[in-house]
Amino acid sequence: MKHEKPTTSMGRARSAKDGKRPRLFSSLRAELSVLIAITTVLAFLIAWMLDIIGINGWMAMPLTITITLIFMYCTSRSFTRPLRQMRDVAESMAQGDYSARVRLRKSTNDEIGQLARSFNVMAEELEHADQMRRDMIANVSHELRTPVSALQAMVENMADGVVEPTPANMENILKQTHRLSDLISFLLDMSRVEAGASSLELERLNVAELIDETVGPLEYADAGHGHTIEQRIPDDLVVEGDEARLRQLLTNIIANALKHSRDDTAVLIEAHAGERGDTVIINVVNFGSDIPKEVRDDIFRRFVKGTSGPGTESGGTGLGLSIARWAAKLHGGTVQVVDDPRGVDFEITLPVRPPEPQARQEAGPGRDDEAAYAGQ
């Protein structure tokens, strides 16, 4: 999710200046070569004209140098303007303003223009990271405050004798402790993503059994919403991987589908071997909803929560899908949303045998794992 901010007056002024001069060449080297050639011809013409009007060499030389230097200074300012903008933007970012950008024409395709565009991408990522940091502090503070306040109130009432420690009251206390435990688990998982932890304890796993064991607790927790989970998985499908990480991956994807499904609807889990037989493909289909194509590349960004609709819940901390993709990448796999006329289809692709640890370490956590989108 990108957070748009109003353009500052400095940014508007820079944009207006840049709009005056389109670049005719796609290479800075070509532009400089043409400028040098024009300056050389200009110097020759000036010296020739001064000689015609009878000015001697001692006077003509400084005049020629002065005029050509003024010409080069005026024309070269347009080459260095993006560099000056990058300096100003960097200074603004150092002071905490991540909204400033280098303003360029779309036709500026030379090396400086490419550098400026890369600089803008970096500034946008830093702005997003700063916003996510602020959101994280607000989200975690809110998530912690609610169960802690409830626990404090219930324990104080019991200590004061206002309420009795009945099984129902103890069950309420237990629910609040579970909320705290879940939040702490999410934060620990997030720290593993930050650190790029990639240790795996590989073992041969039956995919049908793994998914069936994962679905059981989710069905129990989802009781009351009327969801049904249909499984279409061959009994002989196997994959080599870390059971805890794969269970974490499947739990987050399936829980996301349940959380954002209307009550009394179904979620389909399909699995099959890839065309070459070296991968396992798992599809989790949430019927009846949709994720627009333009946001599918951003839905795994951390702390970004999906909007709720009738019969759905957003909830959570906005980390589930980011952690799911991280767990898939540890195994050399991918998680993505694919086109499916039935609804939202999260497709998990896992290699039958994960890559060597060195390859996983070199891959590391990518930028697309920087945030989570807990469903749309």
Query: What is the C-alpha to C-alpha distance for residues 36 and 30, in angstroms, rounded to an integer?
Result: 10
CATH topology assigned to domain 140-194: Helix Hairpins (1.10.287)
Rounded CA gap, 355 and 332, in Å? 6
* Alpha-carbon torsion, ordered 311, 314, 316, 320, to 10 deg: 100
- pLDDT tens per residue, range 213-260: 999 888 877 777 888 999 999 999 999 998 988 998 999 899 888 888
Residue 153 CA from chain centroid, whole number: 39
Edge-to-edge strand order for the sheet containing 343-351?
228-232, 266-273, 279-287, 343-351, 334-338
Nearest alpha carbon to residue 120 among 7, 211, 218, 203: 7
Among 200-209, 274-283, 305-314, where is mean pLDDT lowest?
Answer: 305-314
Model confidence band, residue 4 (pLDDT cutoffs 50, 70, 90): very low
> Which amino acid, residue 362?
E
Q: How many CB atoms lie within 10 A of CB 173?
A: 16
Q: 55: which 2 tokens?
A: 């000015």
CB 90: neighbour CB atoms within 10 A?
Answer: 14
**Residue 364 to residue 356: CA distance in whole angstroms:** 13
At residue 159, does pLDDT exceed 50?
A: yes
Contacts of 259 (CB under 8 A, 6+ apart): 312, 313, 314, 315, 316, 374, 375
What residues contact residue 271 under an 8 Å CB cut-off, 6+ apart? 207, 208, 211, 232, 233, 234, 237, 280, 281, 282, 283
- Cα distances from 355 to residues 16, 202, 211, 278, 335, in angstroms, run 51, 11, 22, 12, 17
Segments making up each domain of the chain, as ranges: 28-97, 140-194, 202-306+317-351
- The secondary structure element, H or E, covering residue 293 is none
**pTM of the full predicted structure?**
0.52
pLDDT on residue 139: 65
Could you give the CA distance from residue 293 to residue 97 in angstroms, rounded to a whole number? Answer: 31
Q: 114 or 308, which is more confident?
A: 114
Mean pLDDT in the chain?
75
Q: 202-306+317-351: what CATH class?
A: alpha beta
